[in-house]
Amino acid sequence: MSESDKKKSRIAELEKLIKKHQELYYNSMAEISDGEFDRLWDELAYMDPENQVLKDIGKDKSDGFLKAAHILPMGSQAKAADPEEFLAWANKQKFDEFVTELKLDGASLELQYEKGFLAKAVTRGDGVTGDDITANARQMNGVVPQLPEPWSGAVRGEVLMSKAVHKEHFSDKANCRNAANGLMKRKDGAGAGYLDVICYDAAPLGLFDMNEALNFPHGPEHPFDDETEKLKWLASCGFMIVEYRVFHTAFEVIDYRAKVVDRRESYAYDIDGLVVKAREPDIEDMKRLRPDRQIAFKFPLEEAASTLLGIEWSESGANYTPVALIEPVRLAGTTVKRASLANAGILRGMGLKIGAKVAVVKRGDIIPKIEGMIEDMPDSKPVEFPELCSCLTKLVDDGTRLFCPNPDCPKKALHRLEKWISVLGIMEFGTTIIKRLFDSGRVKKIADLYSLKKEELAELERLGDLSAAKLVDNLEKKSSPGLAEFVAGFDIEGIGVLTMDKLVKAGFNTLEKLRMASVSELEKTEGLGNITAANLKAGMNLLKNDMDTVLESGRLVIKESQTERGKLSGMSFCFTGELSAMKRSQAQALVKANGGIVKSSVAKDLSYLVSNDSYSGSEKNRKAKSFGIKVIDEKEFLALLS
Ligand SMILES: [Zn+2]
């Protein structure tokens, strides 16, 4: 099937699916979640923005409800799936305080008030207009028909069915949200009295008009310049309000999330995350389609509570990385005893203690992670951080990394040898052999490998003539690495083959050019940054003699950068998500072997984003869409090579 035929048939399929699920939804028989429905909708809108189905359903398909415009547009929300994504967002915001609300899993509703009287209740709809379900809303618990003051504006809330009501009256519906969605939009209004509306936001009429906002009729004491005052005001008007807390640091939010996750079953309503925002609302930001000053900090899909039994410090080169040892717990079908902790800074930030109750999370096949402290226990003990490296140098803690700063640290030297063997892909030089050569003092530096003779290798314990000869042969086989492999093999902090490839493509394609370049010249390379550039410069200086000695041995030369054109030359590729036929590293190697460029992030000049799930709302997919970059799946990628 041709590309355009494929597209046509997918569009037809989407039209059918959207119509079908819309129908089911309005008959209170929804088979898929709102999120899944939105994805179908977004996919169709992306493939065919002018499609008639979008227009029909978006405007007046619904079973007779009138359409009404929102006062406060309902944009989409930025999302963080785990503490690291959340920290990245929080570090950018630099808030003094984080207002943290439970994220209720229901359907959004806007209550519109005119001079204190409820005038309209409007569903989310397309975010700009929705269904006017005022008659139903009047029956719902928590909807205030008349405010204590003649206020005009919008109150935002979530329509929910409590777990208790669901269990007692609607257990035939898949979950509380589906049941609530069905009832809220029944034309006859039956059952709306089972629903609760919990409110979390409000905006007076005219707030978005800057001039009017400044002279707001409520005077200087009006509550709309502070999120918590706003909630208190809502409560004073008689609304049920969302549970909220105020925290001063991002890590407090992370631990609070772990606590809520742990007891989420005990809440009266379904909760699927936290909403975190600044204490001071930013009107300009609220106007954006996707406000940046608030984020949905989602709950993990699979989590369990366990006890932290200890910390093991895993050593890789100069780095010391914490690994949590926990009370064994069943999670996603496996028993988990060890969990990753990202780095020393996150361990410290969460305030973890030995003996404390922690939240353990597992997503798909990834390594389990600790995502926060649920509760400190009375007899818990502080985590001890190692202070000295085995070379007796004092370790340095830069906030995210705990490492040995000694340039001559034996760990670093051994790691460098291992990295060299691995980057160049030299066969049969396993860690045991390297370690033996290293411990014996015969091979301390990369250059020492190239003075090895068959005879002396053969004398090594358990290594016969044959194996010794093979080792030397294997060294020889890889005696002409490219510049990228050569430099990356020297194990400079943050400098891998991918980064080096970028530098080579950017014109630093000989060792001489790389050495002559200043930090400010290097950092202009796409995706490099100042710290990496400075690390590279320092590493090149420090290792200059070592590199020269390797080259002077005459047993290794740097291959000049490829000029012949491969099938993928001139094209760049970025991969996201899982591949089915191969590992990502293998796919990246294929690109390079065919003259293409591998990129780790999506920028305007990218040729292709390879994704097997192009409609997952991932950052890379979104960026690719916004730049109009072609998104292809694994099959299409392989087709380019055949
Ligand atoms: Zn050391």
pLDDT in tens, 459-491: 876 777 778 888 888 888 888 899 999 999 999
First vs last C-alpha separation in the chain: 17
pLDDT at residue 356, as a whole number: 95
Range with the poorest average pLDDT among 37-41, 155-159, 477-481? 37-41
pLDDT at residue 418, as a whole number: 92
Span 176-201, mean pLDDT?
Answer: 91
pLDDT higher than 70, residue 563 = no
CATH topology of domain 78-298: D-amino Acid Aminotransferase; Chain A, domain 1 (3.30.470)
- In 154-189, which positions are buried (b, 16+ CB within 10 angstroms) versus exposed (e)? bbbbbbbbbbebbeeebeebebbbbbbbbbbbbeeb
Both tokens assigned to 158: 């979530």
Q: Which contacts qualify for 204-212: CB closer than 8 Å, 24 or more apart?
A: 204/151, 204/152, 204/153, 205/71, 205/152, 205/153, 205/154, 207/153, 207/283, 208/283, 208/286, 208/287, 210/283
User: What percentage of the chain reaches a pLDDT higher than 70?
Assistant: 93
Average pLDDT, the chain: 87
Helix (H) or strand (E) holding 111: strand 107-114
Span 57-62, mean pLDDT?
Answer: 47
Active-site option among 103, 120, 173, 230: 103
pLDDT at residue 43, as a whole number: 86
pLDDT higher than 80, residue 570 = no
More confident residue, 284 or 424: 424
**Do 272 and 299 form a contact (C-beta atoms < 8 A)?**
yes
pLDDT higher than 90, residue 580 = no
Using CA atoms, how far residue 513 sits from 497, 498, 536, in Å, is: 17, 18, 13
Q: Decide if 103 is catalytic.
A: yes
Span 53-75, mean pLDDT?
Answer: 70
**Do 402 and 319 form a contact (C-beta atoms < 8 A)?**
yes
Distance from the alpha carbon of residue 403 to the mean position of ligand 1, in angstroms: 8
**Do 543 and 549 form a contact (C-beta atoms < 8 A)?**
no
Distance from the alpha carbon of residue 315 to the mean position of ligand 1, in angstroms: 10
pLDDT higher than 50, residue 52 = yes
Range with the poorest average pLDDT among 300-304, 320-324, 374-378, 416-420? 300-304
Distance from the alpha carbon of residue 416 to the mean position of ligand 1, in angstroms: 13
Distance from the alpha carbon of residue 309 to the mean position of ligand 1, in angstroms: 27
pLDDT at residue 608, as a whole number: 93
Q: In what order do the strands lie in the sheet with 244-247?
A: 78-80, 294-298, 271-278, 98-104, 244-247
Confidence of residue 216 (pLDDT cuts 50, 70, 90): very low
Distance from the alpha carbon of residue 99 to the mean position of ligand 1, in angstroms: 43
Confidence of residue 595 (pLDDT cuts 50, 70, 90): confident
pLDDT higher than 60, residue 565 = no
List residues, by chain if needed, whose CB lies under 5 Å from ion ligand 1. 389, 391, 393, 404, 406, 409
- Angstrom distance (rounded) from CA 185 to CA 132: 10
More confident residue, 42 or 575: 575
Range with the poorest average pLDDT among 242-256, 295-309, 352-366? 352-366
Distance from the alpha carbon of residue 354 to the mean position of ligand 1, in angstroms: 26
Residues 330-364 pLDDT 10s: 887 788 999 998 888 889 889 999 999 999 998 76
pLDDT at residue 125, as a whole number: 85
**Do 356 and 373 form a contact (C-beta atoms < 8 A)?**
yes
Range with the poorest average pLDDT among 60-64, 226-230, 394-398, 634-638? 60-64
Confidence of residue 593 (pLDDT cuts 50, 70, 90): confident
pLDDT higher than 50, residue 214 = no
Span 126-143, mean pLDDT?
Answer: 92
Confidence of residue 192 (pLDDT cuts 50, 70, 90): very high
The pTM assigned to this predicted structure is 0.61
pLDDT higher than 50, residue 210 = no
CATH 3.40.50.10190 correct for 572-641: yes
Distance from the alpha carbon of residue 412 to the mean position of ligand 1, in angstroms: 7
DSSP string for residues in 556-618:
--PBPPP-S--TTTT-EEEEES--SSS-HHHHHHHHHHTT-EEESS--TT--EEEES-TTS--
Residues 301-319 pLDDT 10s: 788 999 999 999 988 888 8
pLDDT higher than 60, residue 77 = yes
pLDDT higher than 60, residue 213 = no
- Residue range 303-388, CATH number: 2.40.50.140
Give the pairing type, strands 381-382 and 396-397: unpaired
Residue 378's Cβ-count burial label (10 Å; 0-12, 13-18, 19+) is exposed
H, E, C per residue of 156-177 = EEEEECCHHHHHHHCCCCCCHH
pLDDT at residue 64, as a whole number: 67
- Angstrom distance (rounded) from CA 213 to CA 206: 6
Residues 322-332 pLDDT 10s: 999 999 998 87
Range with the poorest average pLDDT among 129-143, 226-240, 286-300, 501-515? 286-300
Distance from the alpha carbon of residue 414 to the mean position of ligand 1, in angstroms: 11
Confidence of residue 58 (pLDDT cuts 50, 70, 90): low
3-state helix, strand, coil in the chain (%, to 5): 40, 20, 40
Write down the domain spans for the chain.
Answer: 3-61, 78-298, 303-388, 410-476+483-552, 572-641
Distance from the alpha carbon of residue 552 to the mean position of ligand 1, in angstroms: 29
Distance from the alpha carbon of residue 499 to the mean position of ligand 1, in angstroms: 26
- Angstrom distance (rounded) from CA 157 to CA 452: 73
Span 577-599, mean pLDDT?
Answer: 83
DSSP state of 457: H
Span 613-622, mean pLDDT?
Answer: 78
